[in-house]
Amino acid sequence: MSPRKRMWLAVLGAGLSSASLPALAANQDLAALRRGVELFVRSELSQRQASFEVGRFDPHLVVPACQGVSMAWSAGTVPASGATYVDINCPDLGWRLRLPVTVHEKRMALLLLHSVQMGDVLGAGDVRLVDAPASGLGSGSLDQLQQAVGQVMKTGAQAGTWLRAYMLRAAFVVKMNQRVRVVASGDGFDVRAEGTATGNGAAGDVIAVRMASGALVRGVVQGDGSVSVAY
């Protein structure tokens, strides 16, 4: 082999060797990419009481390193509890990956601490907001203390019962045969008189009131126990 040919082979060999080094270093760091997905999911769920698990890439997966990776939920929005995916896109290089994510929503619900009877008014010491199972609560489960405290039981229930909306009603502020103040108002007038309630009513309920003349008027029960009639 001539010295000239030997020289070019050495030059080309060095060039190929040096070109191969950055190629080895230019593969995407999948571990770093997965950490990026974890940060994305944690940020997306920051306003919710939820935990999550991020899946793993195929250990044999190789894609070129990308400087402009973007991430988004496959469903387009932050998902509810359950299995979903995060899409990882590299617009510059044209590759797209998908990583599974499982979201575990932390649910809170109101639990009865004591047995109660129909007609009992619930106080703050009768209920507690606790972590609840993801299933078995049923529809209408209550998850805020103000939904129960001061409300009246429509049925009896045992300690350890998950409170649901149908079990409660608002306390009556007007009761049948009670004397009530009736306020009739309209365009340019405001008339007040007394009458007798013909039924029970909580604030916001519509009840009939018999006036001294014998006439029946219907109005909305107010929080102060009066009945408002609009004309």
Q: Which domains does the chain have, with CATH numbers?
A: 18-105 (no CATH), 107-169 (3.90.1210.10), 172-230 (2.30.30.760)
Identify the pLDDT of residue 14.
Answer: 36
CA separation for the pair 3, 89 (Å, rounded): 50
Position 135 scores a pLDDT of: 59
The reported pLDDT for the residue numbered 108 is: 82
> In the prediction, which pLDDT does 105 show?
79
Q: Is the pTM of this model over 0.95?
A: no
pLDDT for the residue 24: 46
| Amino acid 137: pLDDT | 65
- d(CA 34, CA 28) in angstroms, rounded, equals 11
d(CA 18, CA 8): 15
Low-confidence stretches of the chain (pLDDT < 70) are 1-25, 133-138
Q: Which residues contact 175 (CB under 8 A, 6 or more apart)?
A: 197, 200
Contact criterion met (CB below 8 Å) for 72 and 87: yes
